[in-house]
Structure 1
Amino acid sequence: MIKKMVCGAVLAAMGSLAQAAAPALTEWEFTWKGFYVFPGGGSGWDDPELTFTGRFAGTDGNSDGILALGELTSLTFEHDDYNYAACPPATATDECNLASFSYSEASGLELKASNVWYSAAPGSEAWWVGESTSYDTSYGIEQVDFGYQMPGEYYTRTFTDYTVKTVTQISPVPEPATYAMLGAGLLLLGAARKSRQKK
């Protein structure tokens, strides 16, 4: 009986290790703090306290330590309704795009994403308006308001020397060896206890 319990414990441990060895979905939050703000049509200013946040999630399928564009499942920015990892097909009035994405602890977060929205398809009616937003980890954030007979009005938040960029993992990291050994140990304890009770 004990032999069966031991075999069961070993098999359980091996199963736990195999299951936990599979790449897991992980989520991160990123923060950019400190920008040079330029509202367009006026003077810009430094704002070291201005903060912008976003989140992304994915699975490092090839376990190379890099979350690539094809491994991304979600990418969102504050005050923005799009999931840039799953942009819907573009329409005449709405479009989002994720041109590039990469994250690793060694190289940090790199991405280029954008969206554009129109109140109506340009040319379909008078006095339409639109807005575009772009995010670029090498530059910052740019928003443009435009429309029929309306020059573009820019609002940019540009990275500076004092910009602090942080990425924090917010989902738990599984520790397969620990969990497998714990399960095996509990099974072995149970087997030993039953053996003592029979004696």
Structure 2
Amino acid sequence: MKKQAAAALLAMLCSVAAKADQTYWFKYKGFNDSAGRFNADATVAGYFTANDADRDGVIRLDELNSLVTNGYSFTGCNPENPVVHCGTSAFTYVIGGALSFEGGYGVSDEMYVQSTTVSTGDFYRSYSDNAWGGAGYYHYFTWTPQTQLTISTPVPEPATYGMLATGLLAVGAVARRRRKN
């Protein structure tokens, strides 16, 4: 009976860990600016949360849960909100390798407009303007062969620690049982 209970607990923890989302932090650094000059300090950074549900080592758009770039969410906008718009039209991350996505975020009403759009490997554009005559901004970067991508290793989810603890307990129980015999 104890073996069956332990097996059921282990199976439950495995299924929870298999479904756990992972958060990946990314940073692209080094772009050409709008005048075509290389700027080594120009950065496009953010994070995404996803689950490689089919376990093929590639996270695609249908496995993506959230994407935030330079502080703007490219997912999860309320479609009922006529002022805020966001979306991700393409997404692929080869785990341990290349990241590619297209998406954007925007706010617009009769007094204010702000927009951020990214097409990795091509361009990053962010701008704002308002009807009050205040200072807006415009940033436009293009990818170059010198543009570098870094992605941080995901931090293990709590379910992973649960599986580790269960495994260590199982190994300890087996070792203790062998000592008694």
Matched letter for residue 14 of structure 2: A
How many residues are treated as equivalent by the alignment? 174
CA RMSD across the alignment: 3.3
User: In 1, Cα distance between the equivalents of 2:177 and 2:39?
Assistant: 64
Report how far residue 117 of structure 1 moved.
1.2
Partner of 1:115: 105
Q: Which amino acid letter does the alignment assign opposite residue 105 of structure 2? A: N
CA gap of 1:11–1:132, structure 2 versus 1, over 3 A, is same
Higher relative contact order (CA 8 A, sep 6+): 1
Residue 79 (str. 1) matches residue 65 (str. 2): no
Tell me the distance in 2 between the aligned counterparts of 1:147 and 1:115: 17
1:19 aligns with 13
Equivalent residue letter for 2:85: E
> Aligned pair 1:133/2:116, yes or no?
yes
Report how far residue 16 of structure 1 moved: 2.1
Cα drift, residue 100 of structure 1: 1.3
Separation of aligned partners in 1, 2:163 and 2:154: 21
Greater shift, 160-169 or 136-145, is seen at 136-145
Alignment of 1:1-199 (within 5 A): 8=3, 12=6, 15-16=9-10, 19-20=13-14, 22-38=18-34, 43-80=35-72, 82=73, 84-89=74-79, 91-105=81-95, 108-118=98-108, 120-121=109-110, 128-145=111-128, 154-172=138-156, 174=160, 181-191=167-177
Larger gyration radius, structure 1 or structure 2: 1
- Superimposed CA distance per residue, residues 67-117 of structure 1 (whole angstroms, 9 cap, x where no aligned partner): 12122122112232x2x2322215332211111111113751111111221
Q: Secondary structure at the match of 2:93?
A: strand
| Matched position secondary structure for 1:20 | helix
Give the TM-score of the pair, scaled to structure 1.
Answer: 0.70
Identity across aligned pairs (percent)? 22
Unaligned runs of 5+ in 2: none
Alpha-carbon shift at residue 188 of structure 1 (Å):
3.0
Contact map agreement 1:27 1:55 (CA 8 A) in 2: yes
Q: Write the letter of the residue equivalent to 2:168.
A: L
C-alpha separation between the residues in 1 aligned to 2:66 and 2:8? Answer: 32
Structure 1 residues not aligned, in runs of 5+: 122-127
Give the deviation of 1:162 after TM superposition.
0.7
Q: CA deviation at 1:144?
A: 3.5
Change (3 A) 1:29 1:153: closer
Structure-2 change in CA distance of 1:164 and 1:147 (3 Å):
same
Counterpart Cα distance in 2 of 1:64 and 1:79: 29
